[in-house]
Structure 1
Amino acid sequence: MTFLKLVLPFALALLVRYEYGLPEDPPDQLKGLLKCLPILVLIAGVLENQHGNDFSLRLSAGLGFAAAGDLCQLYKGQHFIHGTICFGIAYCLYTAAFGLRGDNLSLGCLICLVAISIYYIVSPGIKGLTRPAAFVYTLPILAMIWRSTAWWRGSRHNSSSCAMFGAITLALSDVVLSNHLFQFPVPHSNFLVSSSYYTGQLLIAMSAF
C-alpha cells in the first residue's frame, strides 16, 4: 500500500494540471506551476519515502530537471533547446541512480542497434544542427534503458521492474514526439506523448518504493 501514497497524490496533481492548466497558450506563471506540479509531487514522495539516500537523491534531481524541462516546453518558442538539455540531464541522473557499471555489454549493444535503427528512420526529417543534437540526446536515453534493464536482469524485483518499464515508456514518449515533429503527423500525438511521459516518470519514481 505504500506506493499508493505516491500514486494517489500524483493522479490528483495530474487532474489539477489538466483541469486548470489548459490551454497552455498563452503561458503564465500559474500554468507553469501546474505543468510542473505532477513531477513536483513525485519528488516529494520519493524524498519522503527514502529519507535522502543516494538513490532517492539522484532520482529526485533527475525529476527536478524533468520539471525544468516541462517548464521550458511551456515557452518552447524561446527555450526548446534548454528544455531538451534539461531532459537529457534528467536521463543521465536516472542512469546514475540505476547504477553506472560495465556489465551486460551485450545488452547495451543490442539496445544501441535498435536505437540506431529508429534514429535513421526519424533522421531524414531532421535538418541542420538539430540532427547531431538529436543524436547526442539519444545517448542518455540509451544509457538509461541499458542500466535499468541490466538492474532488472540482476535482481528481478519490483523496484527494478518499475525502473525498466519507466525508462522504456519515457523513450517511447520521445520516439512518438520525434516522429510527430520531424517525420509525419501522429494521430492523437498530444495524448500519446503526455500519457507515456507521465507514466514513465511515475514508474521511475516508484522504483524508489
Structure 2
Amino acid sequence: MWLIIIASAFIHIISIKTGPKWLFFATKPIPIIAMIGMLLLSPAIQLPYAKWIISGLSLSLIGDLVMMYPKDSFTQGIKFFCAALTCYALGFIQIAAWHFTPWLPFAVLGFGICAYLFFKPDLGKEKWLVASYIIVLMTMLWMSMEYYAAGKTQSSAFAVLGSVIFTMSGIVIAFERFGSTSTFSRQVAMATYYSAQLLIAMSVSAIVIR
C-alpha cells in the first residue's frame, strides 16, 4: 500500500504540468483509495477512531472526484471536504476524551479569522462558503491539538502534524483560487494535501504500537 500511495501521488503531482490529462485524472483518487485500503487492513480497524478517519478519507475521496468536473464543482467539493474534516475533528476529540485547553480555541480560531480577512476582498459570492470551510478546518486543527495535549503519543503527533499540513494546503489552494498563483502552486497544494491525509491515516496505524 505504501508504494501505491507514494507512487500514485508522485505521478499525479508530475502530471499536473506534464500531462497527459487522462493520467492526471486517473491518478488523482488512487492515493486516498490506497489509504482507505491500508486502514481497512489495519489491526486498529475496530476502533471508533479508525472509523471516523476512514469516513473522513471516504468523504475526501468523493470531494476529489467531484472537483474533477470543471463546471460548478468547487462549491460541491468544499461541502464534502467540510464533512470530511468534521469526521476528523470528531475522531480527534473523542480519542482525546474531550480534553480541553482554555486558550487553544482562541489562538486557532483567531488565526482562521485573520486568514479569512486576508482573502475576503477576493472571495465575492463564495465568502460564506469559504468562511464555513475555515471554521471547520480550524475546528479540526484545534481538535487535533487537543488530542496531542491529552497525551503526546505517536498517533497524536501524526494527527496534529497532518492537521497543520492540511491547513497549509488550504492556504495554498486559497492563494491559487483567490490570490496570485505561482508556477508550482498546484503541485505544492497536492503534495501538502496527500502528505496531510497520509499522516492522519498513519495516526490510526500508530495507535496499535503506542
Post-superposition CA distance 1:26-55 (Å, at most 9, x none)? x6xx86553211001001111211233211
1:76-111 per-residue CA deviation (whole Å, 9 max, x = no partner) reads: 323221111111111000001101536113101110
- Does residue 34 of structure 1 match 2:44? no
1:9 aligns with 2:13: no
Task: Verify the 8 A CA contact 1:148 1:163 in the aligned structure 2.
Answer: yes
Structure 2 Cα separation of the partners of residues 174 and 13 of structure 1: 21
1:79 aligned onto 2:76? no
**How far, CA to CA, are the matches of 1:76 and 1:54 in structure 2?**
35
2:114 alignment partner, one of 107, 112, 117: 117
CA–CA distance in structure 2, aligned partners of residues 24 and 123 of structure 1: 35
Consecutive unaligned residues of structure 2, counting only runs of 5 or more, are 206-210
Contact kept? 2:99, 2:146, Cα under 8 Å: no
Among 27, 49, 56, the alignment partner of 1:55 is 49
Aligned to 1:45: 38
- 1:198 correspondence with 2:194: yes
- TM-score, with length taken from structure 2: 0.87
Tell me the amino acid that sits aligned with residue 180 of structure 1. E
Q: Deviations over 1:2-36 (max 9, x none)?
A: xxxx53331133245457797375x6xx8655321
- Is the Cα contact below 8 Å between 1:173 and 1:193 reproduced in 2? yes
CA distance change for structure 1 residues 19 and 133 in 2, over 3 Å: closer, same or farther? closer
Instruction: Tell me the TM-score normalised to structure 1 length.
Output: 0.87
The amino acid that maps onto 1:105 is P
- Larger CA deviation: 178-187 vs 56-65: 178-187
Name the structure 2 match of 1:151. Answer: 147
Percent identity of the aligned residues?
22
- Root mean square deviation of aligned Cα: 2.1
> Is the Cα–Cα contact under 8 Å of residues 179 and 186 in structure 1 kept in the other structure?
no
Q: Which amino acid aligns with 1:34?
A: T
Structure 1 runs not aligned, ≥5 long: 1-5
**Matches of residues 178-189 of structure 1 in structure 2 within 5 Å?**
178-189=174-185
**How many residue pairs get matched?**
200
Aligned partners of 2:180, 2:168: CA distance in 1, in Å?
A: 16
